[in-house]
């Protein structure tokens, strides 16, 4: 009997090893960092009022002692020095990496700022960014999610985003101001080496002329752990990661977090936020990771907690990630197609392999809905009359275009 | 000879039958839950493992292949559950145990499930957390395989019974320990389970802060019983674990409704069945007639 037991366990052990595949810690890691205090992996983060504030962050592979930003408003010669307010070592052993966050405040709306990052006397190339406008002018943002795998596609997508932004600033076009990222940046949020690769790849969103693409981050289910807060300059140990900001005076974007309690304080916060922001904004959007109206997976708990609020406050558009496909639903109210309802888009294609949408679901059936399975980003353009929604595939092809009319003044009043 | 008598006494008792049937029902219910999950809901860590690209440790097979494998596995699990009800055997229970192990490995590889916020732990250890959370589900078919094998020589050896008991205990302890960590860290899904369940059952949703306080208490208690069940063998602790395993499994239904979540409760049935089987065994050992005990053992 003892030998039977032994055989059983040996068999189990052999199968376990056979199932081991590639150990996760041996997965692809091609993060290359410059030595010492050379600023690398820069990113511009929008979390509050992007017309007047921004967070400029970068990393170094040595702790250093002095970290600052040379900030110069376009049209002036004098640069202002702004010291990084938060510096520290990332959580995680490898690679040895230090973050530096500079909160830029009192900026002027719709203004170009040139920046040079400096750590212990070592400087980055000069780059620039544009603050959000104070006037009610047409603006665009991009929405994308799920860049945790398909690293080559992720890099190609990032390069495409930079081109799209550069083109959008040509005369007669509506400028793309930011990228709203719906989460799942990397595979395992606790593994710093993966974040390091992501941040290096994110540099590809900087245009050849040095234009920084602001990112508005949402947390995904693969982004658990403290590095998310450190990468995007959230307070240490922050679990909430939900916030709202205006991109121009009439576009309000609410970023929610499906990875913390959905039914608790967040829903109360969302209700208060929508109550205030609905009457004050022509366009009201939300972004988060796990979908309420999924194209592939089962719905998340936000279906019962957030969707009623979206409908009650007549949110215009909701951006979702996680499903790895392209999705645009018809306007939905009370689980039925309704012209006054809420449109759900997204599902994520910034690199991750694509799934097949389940078009037998009532809210995904053509011609009212449009779905697909290619790497993509969603481009949202806001003007006085409509939101123009476009899906741009990797390579630049237009996959879908749709227009959403503005809500009537009555619909914009809080109930 | 006396040991043989004791083994015969054990296996002929009604309590022994109760233990075996507890495990059989546990595995059958677990199979039903897994069938629903794999064949009908269709999104599992197994599918992720199959379709994820190789750069993130997946197999990079096509989605269609992954879905076919997952669906087939679901229906095979249902068939296996049927056989377990009729007559458990190694050919059925072995693969069931391996499937549960595969789920845990898939969760590990695809980083599904809860990520502990323990920054002092190396990430590769944190990634292994699903092996702990899933351990009772892996151990249930294995314990049944050890205790109720078809065509094995009877009576079963005492070492084999002891192995099944120890294995079950360690698995229960690991499961409670892992879930205790999640509760102490206020896992958002647990918070929402409490909020939604209280809203449905009591008519008033508990505030998030109260749920978090409750989870701290629950987490502390889970860790305590996880250790206590291994050290001093108080039967009341295992009765509590069985009760709490049932409550937490059923909380999925109270929160999300029968239709959406019965499978989630069913797959967690080992959290109830395994401690119940062990505590019944402890009762059985205690109730064996003195004449059946090997006199050399006490010496």
What lies within 8 Å, CB to CB, of A109 at 6+ separation is A51, A52, A131, A132, A133, A134, A135
Mean pLDDT of B3-17: 74
* B296 is a domain residue: no
Containing structural domain, residue B174: 2-113+123-291
What is the pLDDT, as a whole number, of residue B289?
A: 57
For residue A337, pLDDT beyond 90: yes
What residue spans define the domains of chain A?
40-130, 139-412
- Provide the shortest C-alpha distance from residue A217 to chain B (in Å): 19
Q: Do domains A40-130 and A139-412 have the same CATH topology?
A: no
CATH superfamily of A139-412: Metallo-dependent phosphatases (3.60.21.10)
Q: Which stretch of A149-153, B206-210, B238-242 has the lowest confidence by average pLDDT? A: A149-153
Closest partner residue to B53 (CB to CB) among A11, A93, A149 is A149
Mean pLDDT of A167-194: 94
pLDDT: which is higher, A317 or B151: A317
**Which tokens sit at A314?**
């007549």
* B276 is a domain residue: yes
What is the pLDDT, as a whole number, of residue B53?
A: 82
Contact A20 B105 (CB under 8 A): yes
What is the pLDDT, as a whole number, of residue A27?
A: 41
**pLDDT tens profile A358-388:** 999 999 999 999 999 999 999 999 999 999 9
Model confidence band, residue B119 (pLDDT cutoffs 50, 70, 90): low
What is the pLDDT, as a whole number, of residue A12?
A: 44
Q: Is B101 on the interface with A (CB under 8 A)?
A: yes
Mean pLDDT of B104-130: 79
For residue B227, pLDDT beyond 50: yes
**pLDDT tens profile B11-53:** 778 889 999 999 999 999 999 999 999 999 988 999 999 998 8
For residue A26, pLDDT beyond 90: no
Mean pLDDT of chain A: 92
Number of alpha carbons in the 13 Å side-chain half-sphere of residue A7: 7
B 201-260: CB under 8 A from A: 205, 207-208, 211, 256, 260
For residue A18, pLDDT beyond 70: no
What is the pLDDT, as a whole number, of residue B288?
A: 62
Mean pLDDT of A114-137: 97
**Which tokens sit at B209?**
């802060």
* B270 is a domain residue: yes
**pLDDT tens profile A183-219:** 999 998 988 999 999 999 999 999 999 999 999 999 9
H or E element, residue A381? strand A376-382
* B192 is a domain residue: yes
Model confidence band, residue A414 (pLDDT cutoffs 50, 70, 90): confident
Long-range contacts of the stretch A365-371 (C-beta < 8 A, 24+): A368/A329, A368/A330, A368/A337, A369/A327, A369/A328, A369/A329, A369/A330, A370/A326, A370/A327, A370/A328, A370/A400, A370/A402, A371/A295, A371/A325, A371/A326, A371/A327, A371/A328
Q: Which stretch of A5-9, A274-278, A333-337 has the lowest confidence by average pLDDT? A: A5-9
Instruction: Check if the beta carbon of residue A218 is closer than 8 Å to that of residue A259.
Output: no
Closest partner residue to B188 (CB to CB) among A260, A304, A353 is A260
Is this complex scored with an ipTM above 0.90?
A: no
| B39 vs B67: CA distance, rounded Å | 9
Contact B98 A93 (CB under 8 A): no
Instruction: Check if the beta carbon of residue B242 is closer than 8 Å to that of residue B139.
Output: no
* B299 is a domain residue: no
For residue A355, pLDDT beyond 60: yes
pTM for the full predicted model: 0.91
Nearest-by-CA chain B residue for A9? B142
Closest partner residue to A225 (CB to CB) among B52, B57, B115 is B115
Model confidence band, residue A3 (pLDDT cutoffs 50, 70, 90): low
Model confidence band, residue A24 (pLDDT cutoffs 50, 70, 90): very low
Contact B117 A225 (CB under 8 A): yes
| B165 vs B146: CA distance, rounded Å | 9
Q: Which stretch of B2-6, B132-136, B161-165 has the lowest confidence by average pLDDT? A: B2-6
Contact B101 A19 (CB under 8 A): yes
* B297 is a domain residue: no
Model confidence band, residue B285 (pLDDT cutoffs 50, 70, 90): confident
What lies within 8 Å, CB to CB, of A240 at 6+ separation is A257, A260, A265, A266
CA distances (Å), origin A310, targets A145, A249, A329: 21, 20, 14
- Provide the shortest C-alpha distance from residue B236 to chain A (in Å): 30
Contact B208 A93 (CB under 8 A): no
Contact A264 B41 (CB under 8 A): no
- Could you please state the CATH topology (level 3) that the domain comprising A40-130 is classified under: Immunoglobulin-like (2.60.40)
pLDDT: which is higher, A51 or B283: A51
Q: Is B166 on the interface with A (CB under 8 A)?
A: no
H or E element, residue A97? none
For residue A249, pLDDT beyond 70: yes
Nearest alpha-carbon partner for B182 in B122, B135, B117, B242: B117
Q: How far is CA A292 from the centre of its chain?
A: 18
Instruction: Check if the beta carbon of residue A84 is closer than 8 Å to that of residue A101.
Output: yes
What lies within 8 Å, CB to CB, of B116 at 6+ separation is B126, B129, B181, B182, B185
| A153 vs A168: CA distance, rounded Å | 22
**pLDDT tens profile B54-112:** 777 788 899 999 999 999 999 999 999 999 999 899 999 999 999 999 999 999 888 88
Mean pLDDT of A153-170: 96
What is the pLDDT, as a whole number, of residue A32?
A: 53
| A215 vs A287: CA distance, rounded Å | 13
| B247 vs B243: CA distance, rounded Å | 6
Q: Is B43 on the interface with A (CB under 8 A)?
A: yes
- Provide the shortest C-alpha distance from residue A295 to chain B (in Å): 12
């Amino acid at each position: 009997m003892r030998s039977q037991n032994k055989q059983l366990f040996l068999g189990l052990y052999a199968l376990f090893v056979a199932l081991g595949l590639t150990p996760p810690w041996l997965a692809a890691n091609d993060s290359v960092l410059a030595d010492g205090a050379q600023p690398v992996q820069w990113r511009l983060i929008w979390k509050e009022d992007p017309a007047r504030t921004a967070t400029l962050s970068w990393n170094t592979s040595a702790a250093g002692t002095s970290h600052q930003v040379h900030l110069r408003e376009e049209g002036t010669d004098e640069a202002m020095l702004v010291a990084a307010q938060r510096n520290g070592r990332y959580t995680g052993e490898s690679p040895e990496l230090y973050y530096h966050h500079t909160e830029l405040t009192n900026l002027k709306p719709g203004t170009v700022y040139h920046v040079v990052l400096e750590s212990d006397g070592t400087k980055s190339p000069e780059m620039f960014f544009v603050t959000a406008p104070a006037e009610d002018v047409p603006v665009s943002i991009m929405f994308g999610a799920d860049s945790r795998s398909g690293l080559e596609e992720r890099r190609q997508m990032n390069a495409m985003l930079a081109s799209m932004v550069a083109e959008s600033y040509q005369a007669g076009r509506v400028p793309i101001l930011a990228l709203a990222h719906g989460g799942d940046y990397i595979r395992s949020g606790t593994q710093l080496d993966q974040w390091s690769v992501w941040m290096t790849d994110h540099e590809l969103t900087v245009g050849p002329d040095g234009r920084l693409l602001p990112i508005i981050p949402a947390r995904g289910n693969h982004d658990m752990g403290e590095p998310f807060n450190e990468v995007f300059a959230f307070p240490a140990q922050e679990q909430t990661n939900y916030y709202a900001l205006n991109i121009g005076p009439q576009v309000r974007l609410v970023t929610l977090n499906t990875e913390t309690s959905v039914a608790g304080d967040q829903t109360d916060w969302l209700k208060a936020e929508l109550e205030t922001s609905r009457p004050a904004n022509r366009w009201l959007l939300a972004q988060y990771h796990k979908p309420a109206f999924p194209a592939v997976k089962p719905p998340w708990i936000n279906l019962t907690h957030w969707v009623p609020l979206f409908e009650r406050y007549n949110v215009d558009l909701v951006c979702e990630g996680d499903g790895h496909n392209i999705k645009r639903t018809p306007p939905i109210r009370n689980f039925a197609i309704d012209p006054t309802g809420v449109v759900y888009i997204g599902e994520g294609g910034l690199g991750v392999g694509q799934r097949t949408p389940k078009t037998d679901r009532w809210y995904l059936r053509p011609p009212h809905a449009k779905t697909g399975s290619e790497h993509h980003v969603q481009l949202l353009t806001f003007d006085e009359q409509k939101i123009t929604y476009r899906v741009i595939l990797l390579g630049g092809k237009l996959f879908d275009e749709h227009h959403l009319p503005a809500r009537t003044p009555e619909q914009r009043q809080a109930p | 000879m006396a040991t043989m008598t004791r083994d015969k006494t054990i296996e002929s008792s009604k309590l022994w039958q109760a233990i075996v049937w507890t495990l059989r029902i546990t595995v059958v219910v677990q199979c039903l839950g897994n069938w629903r999950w794999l064949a009908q809901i269709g999104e599992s860590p197994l599918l992720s493992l199959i379709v994820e690209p190789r750069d993130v440790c997946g197999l990079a097979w096509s989605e269609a292949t992954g879905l076919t494998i997952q669906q087939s596995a679901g229906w095979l699990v249902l068939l296996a559950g049927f056989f377990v009800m009729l007559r458990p055997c190694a050919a059925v229970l072995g693969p069931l145990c391996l499937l549960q192990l595969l789920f845990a490995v898939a969760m590990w590889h695809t980083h599904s499930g809860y990520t502990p916020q323990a920054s002092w732990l190396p990430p590769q250890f944190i990634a292994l957390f699903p092996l702990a959370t899933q351990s009772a589900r892996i151990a249930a078919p294995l314990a049944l395989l050890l205790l109720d094998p078809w065509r094995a020589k009877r009576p079963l050896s005492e070492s084999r019974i002891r192995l099944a008991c120890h294995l079950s205990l360690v698995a229960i302890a690991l499961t409670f320990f892992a879930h205790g960590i999640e509760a102490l860290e206020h896992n958002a899904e647990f918070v929402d389970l409490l909020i939604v369940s209280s809203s449905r059952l009591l008519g008033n949703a508990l505030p998030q802060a109260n749920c978090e306080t409750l989870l701290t208490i629950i987490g502390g208690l889970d860790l305590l019983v996880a250790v206590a069940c291994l050290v001093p063998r108080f039967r009341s602790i295992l009765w509590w674990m069985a009760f709490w395993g049932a409550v937490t499994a059923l909380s999925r239904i109270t929160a999300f409704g029968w239709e959406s979540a019965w499978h989630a409760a069913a797959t967690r049935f080992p959290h109830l069945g395994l401690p119940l089987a062990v505590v019944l065994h402890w009762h059985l050992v205690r109730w064996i007639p003195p004449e059946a005990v090997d006199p050399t053992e006490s010496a």
